[in-house]
Amino acid sequence: EAKLQGRNIWQCYTGQISAPTLEHISLRREMFEAIEEQQFVVYYQPLVDARTGEVRSLEALIRWHHPERGMVPPNDFIPLAEHTGQIISIDQWVLRQACLDTVAMNASRPHAQSVAVAVNISPIHFRRAGFVNEVQQVLAESGLAPYLLELEVTEGVLMSGADTVIKQLDALRHYGVRVAIDDFGTGFSSLSYLRQLPINKVKLDRCFIEGIDHQRDSAAIVQGVITMAHNLGLQVVAEGVEAHAEWEDLTRRGCDFLQGYLFSRPVPLIDVMALPNRLPV
């Protein structure tokens, strides 16, 4: 839910982590076990071409099938994993799995256009020295073409340690890996700042899409981002598209890619492999 706070700061709900509690202490231990015991699974949600409905890429979204707690959503453990540093091994596991799965996915549909995969990378992981080498290694091991990998980072990554981040982005671009700014509009970066960065895409946060048909300011933000992004040579993705009217509105406004429950929820690999190349809505 988006609220206009103060003058011009949009606030969208984000998971937050407070003082350590007993709950966190046990979750921390359980996250260590989760990788060992293969409790994590990667689900995939398609991103479609706004004009044709064709599936162009898949976003990898982690799921934790906890033996006692059941399904733990990422917003309930990613912030803690970032706090404890465990996010690095979690992200590394997801990256590797997503590349392997995408190679399998494309091999299973030799006559269709290859789909790309988008992997979320935590800022603390992205900023680490050696991150780009790690990505190169995973690509080499999995056999995924670099241009089929897209990394999603939030605006937050850009705001601190700009020099390191620009170096990482340049190295990724040199290697052919694509980068998208996730949850765009919820942080403090402006499009004019993005102009200086070698990135490919912005993903408009879901909170702007929710209001597009009844809140004039949401619609204005969406239109402004699309227009400016295109002028800077960037593509635009809308997240959280749930209604047909939103799809039409976004397409009319020139949005390039759409993602949301209207097309598909995030699903296991086997189910995403069974989806048609073009999604009916």
Buried b (16+ CB within 10 A) or exposed e, 188-215: ebebeebeebebebbbbbbbbbbbbeee
CB of 7 to ligand C2E, least distance (A): 25
Residue spans of beta strands (DSSP E) within the chain: 3-5, 9-11, 40-49, 55-66, 70-72, 116-120, 149-154, 178-184, 201-204, 235-238, 257-258, 267-268
CB closer to ligand C2E out of 86 and 106 = 86
- Which partner, ligand C2E, Mg ion, none, binds residue 249 by CB below 5 to 8 Å per kind? none
Q: How far is the CB of 67 from Mg ion (least distance, A)?
A: 27
155 sits near Mg ion (criterion: CB under 5 A):
no
Residue bearing tokens 């800077």 = 232
Tokens, residue 222: 């969406």
The encoded tokens of residue 33 equal 């076990």
The residues in 115-134 that bind Mg ion, with binding defined as CB under 5 A, are 120
Instruction: Kindly identify the residues of this chain, within the stretch 177-236, that bind ligand C2E according to CB under 6 A.
Output: 182-183, 206
Q: Note whether 269 and 54 are within 8 A (CB).
A: no
**Which one among 102, 106, 120, 168 touches ligand C2E, defined by CB under 6 A?**
120
Strands 55-66 and 40-49: antiparallel
Bridge pairing between strands 257-258 and 40-49: antiparallel
Q: Looking at beta carbons, which residue is closest to ligand C2E?
A: 260
- Tell me which stretch binds ligand C2E (CB under 6 A): 23-31, 70-78, 185-193, 230-238: 70-78
Residues 181-200, interacting with Mg ion (CB under 5 A): 182-183
Of 109-117, 189-197, 230-238, 255-263: span binding ligand C2E (CB under 6 A): 255-263
Q: How far is the CB of 235 from Mg ion (least distance, A)?
A: 15
Residue ranges in contact with Mg ion by CB under 5 A:
120, 152, 182-183, 239
